[in-house]
Amino acid sequence: MTGTTGLHTVLAVATWTILSWITISPGVPTIYAPLNLLVLVPAMLIGGRVAAVVLIPLVSCLWCRPVFRGRPNVPVCSVVLLVVAVILSALNLAFGFDYASHYHGLAYAVTATLVNVSCWIVLGVVLLWAMRCPSSSHNLAFHVAMFAWLAWYAFPYLGELP
């Protein structure tokens, strides 16, 4: 395969956009829509949800250009991005757990933690699969999954609402 089809690209971008929208759509943190800070902060700074919802898909498209062109190997920079994002997400959860429990309830804090840990495990497995069996489809699957997590649940809002 020399590259992904246009359909794969459209589906990837649609997935990232829908997840970005879902994470902030209710306006308050919920288990299915945790107000991901990667979408929420730009929405607050820009003053518009639509611009913020498009931000992660836009950055993802720029990041994934070699992937969309059919690169079979996972780039080192993508592995570094995943490692840094997981570490920062873990720190966010560790330092924000008490706040989340206080402001949103213990069930939300525990669920947000479990969802993220599950995502880390799935991303690790998909990354290993993509690295051990290099192909453009495996590389694409890893990147779609990683940016889906970054768009939806990577940094759930854990504090008091403004």
pLDDT at 4 (0 to 100): 64
pTM tops 0.85, yes or no? yes
pLDDT at 73 (0 to 100): 96
pLDDT at 1 (0 to 100): 44
How far is it, in rounded angstroms, from Cα 71 to Cα 52? 29
pLDDT at 20 (0 to 100): 95
pLDDT at 47 (0 to 100): 78
At 5, give phi and psi (nearest 5°). -80, 165
What residues contact residue 75 under an 8 Å CB cut-off, 6+ apart? 66
Would you call 114 helix, strand, or coil by DSSP?
Answer: helix
Q: Hey, how many other C-beta atoms are within 10 angstroms of the C-beta on 15? A: 18
Residue type, 95: F
Block means of pLDDT (10 residues each) for the chain, 162 residues, are: 73 95 93 94 85 91 93 96 98 96 96 98 98 95 98 95 78
pLDDT at 14 (0 to 100): 95
Q: What DSSP string describes 6-37?
A: HHHHHHHHHHHHHHHHHHHTTSS--SS----H
How far is it, in rounded angstroms, from Cα 119 to Cα 135? 22
